[in-house]
Amino acid sequence: MRPQLYLITPPKIELSAFADQLRAALSGGDVACLQLRLKDVPDAEVVGAADVLMPICHEHDVALLINDRPDLAKEVDADGVHVGQEDASYTDARALLGPTRIVGVTCHDSRHLAMEAAEQGADYVAFGAFFPTTTKQTKSTAEVDLLQWWDEIMEVPCVAIGGITVDNCAPLLDAGTDFLAVAGGIWDHAEGPKAAVEQFNKVIDQCETDRAAKVKAEKAAAREARRT
C-alpha cells in the first residue's frame, strides 16, 4: 500500500478560514483522512466544525475522524475516531461506533500498547513523537526502528506522528510507515497547504520508487547468488 497523508487540524481554528485552507490542501494531492482535533472548546464547536469540514473531506474521498470523543463522532456521523491512552478505551469506542467505523489508537513509543491495540481490532496504531513538535505536549519520543519492526511483523497499518515535515519524513517512509500524520507541516508551510500536500506526495512517490528499485535489486542479487 502506498503511504498516505493523515492531516490533523490545529487545536484552534477560525472555521471559515480553515475550511478554505482545507479545500486548498485537499486540492494538492492524495490525502487519506483529516483528524478534527480541537482542544478546550465546547462540544457544540466540534460538532459545528465537523458539519462544515466533513462535506469538504468527502468531496475528495477523505475520511473525517474526531479526536478523543467517540460520542461526538457518533453524533456527527463521522468516519471514525482517534483515541489516546487517556481517552475513551478502544473497546468503548468500538462498542459505541460499531464495526464499520475507523478506530485508531495512540501507542506512543510502546510496542506492548501497539500489540494490544492490534489484537483488540484497532484499524491503525499511531507511534510518536518522532521529532520535536509544538502542536501538543509530547509524552514519548519514538525511534524510527519502531516503524520497521511493526512493518515486518504486523498487518495493521501504523501512523507516524510528531513534528513531521517535508524535509524530515523520508526516513519514516523508508522504515515502513503507512501514514504520515501532519499538522504544522501542512498548515504552517511557507508556500501554503496545497504546496505542502504536493511536496509531501512527491517525497512519498520518490520513496516508493526507491523502495521498489531496492527490492528489484535484492531479488536480482538473490537469483545471481543461486546461479553461482
Q: Is 180:6 a contact under the CB 8 Å cutoff?
A: yes
Burial environment of residue 217 by CB neighbours within 10 A (0 to 12, 13 to 18, 19 or more): exposed
pLDDT of residue 220: 87
Distance CA(200)–CA(49), nearest Å, equals 26
Is 35 strand, coil or helix? strand
State CA 118 to chain mean position distance: 16
User: In terms of Cα–Cα distance, which of 142, 80, 81, 76 is closest to 114?
Assistant: 142
Q: What pLDDT is recorded for position 84?
A: 94
55-58 long-range contacts, CB within 8 A, separation 24+: 56/19, 56/22, 56/23, 56/26, 57/22, 57/26, 57/33
Supply 198's cell numbers.
Answer: 504536493
Query: Hey, how many other C-beta atoms are within 10 angstroms of the C-beta on 30?
Result: 18
What CATH number should be reported for the domain holding residue 46? 3.20.20.70
Return the pLDDT at 90.
Answer: 97
**Dihedral sign (CA 67, 49, 138, 153):** positive
Predicted local confidence at residue 124, as pLDDT:
99
10-residue mean pLDDT profile of the chain (228 residues): values are 98 98 99 98 98 99 98 98 94 98 98 98 98 78 97 98 98 98 98 99 98 88 83
- What's the one-letter identity of residue 24? A
Read off the C-alpha cell for 146.
519502531
Question: d(Cα 215, Cα 207) in Å, to the nearest integer?
Answer: 12
What 91-95 contacts at long range (C-beta under 8 Å, 24+ apart), as own/partner pairs, is 91/120, 94/120, 94/121
The span from the CA of 35 to the CA of 66, in Å, is: 6
Domain count, the chain: 1
Residue numbers of the domain that contains 52: 4-227
User: Residue 45's pLDDT is what?
Assistant: 98
pLDDT of 107: 98
CB 101 within 8 A of CB 81: yes
